[in-house]
Structure 1
Amino acid sequence: MLRLVGVGVVLFVAVAGCAGETGGQSSSPPTTAVAVDVWADHAEPAASGGPVSCAMPIGFDMAAGASATVPDTGERDGLNLACEVKGAGQMQVWTGSAMEPRAALDKFLAGEGPVTDPRYRDTKVGKGNGVEVTYVNTKGVRGRAFAMATTLRSAVVAAAGADFDQVAPEYLLAKDTLTPIER
């Protein structure tokens, strides 16, 4: 019985592979479009230079040579700018009341002004779960942000710049090493 099931699967694959063929000619022209890696998944995280020094409900490692500062002001739709990290590019950390990560990202994006091509995905953030978005801002610059929630607050870590590939390793280091501090 098991052998017949295996043969049936092979036959199905073989028949499905032939579907749509018209005597050796393709029914649709070949495409030459190149897929754009909007997630920059090809990048590797930067080497750690130590923990970020801002007081926040989260902690993460900064890239070697990066510096963190606490900004004087910054607020957007219930999120407060808690930290700016400058290295190869710039990252910002926004915190707010506890909410779902997607809701925190939506608040962040509302403060960015009109954005185009927003794409969301569930993602690992440190040892937990979160949501990530990539988008294009009004200057035509691709940005990327991830959000996660502690029991008391939410945090959004965002990176944008003229060349996201430059800041991507620092962003990925923050994403990979993020740890909730308040529990």
Structure 2
Amino acid sequence: MLKLQGLREYPKVMNIIKAFKASSARLSAILVLTGLMVSAGCTTTDKDIKAEITQLAKTDVNFADVKYTVEDKRVTLTGSCPSKKSKDEVEKIIKGIRVVKDVVSRLQIAPVTLTNAFPIKQGVDSILAGYPTVIADVSETEVTLSGKITKPEVVPLLTAIRKLNPPTINNKLQVK
């Protein structure tokens, strides 16, 4: 989620946070809060944006086969959605995050099948929330990591993925 440190002195923001906790309109509250944080001078990093998308994706079936990276506040979407409506909804959610500068959608419309690997995919997605330029393809036989990563991040990422006990980890990461 977005960092809320330093916002306690903004009563309007705190009221929105309270409303968010009590509201069923979770997405609307997130979008309003994100806009207020930007206007309050708060910075949002690529890692914060990816973490926010990951939180939204956990509860939205439209994201079941969607992968996303964030670089310079630009989100790139890859993978599949089962229908045009589903694809449009994913794009709308991402574009609704006010701090996102641009959305590059490479989503395809194709059948999406949830397999026994889905729980591992959810675990991998949660880990990748801290790695904005890394994506993973997860199957029942392996987790394939790709994207850009810094050298100090490699070992912690691989260690966290190994804790999920995937059969194989295929490391195709580009170390920068």
TM range (shorter): under 0.3
TM-score, normalized by length of structure 2?
0.24
The structure with the larger Rg is 1
TM-score (norm 1): 0.23
User: Which protein has the bigger helix share?
Assistant: 2
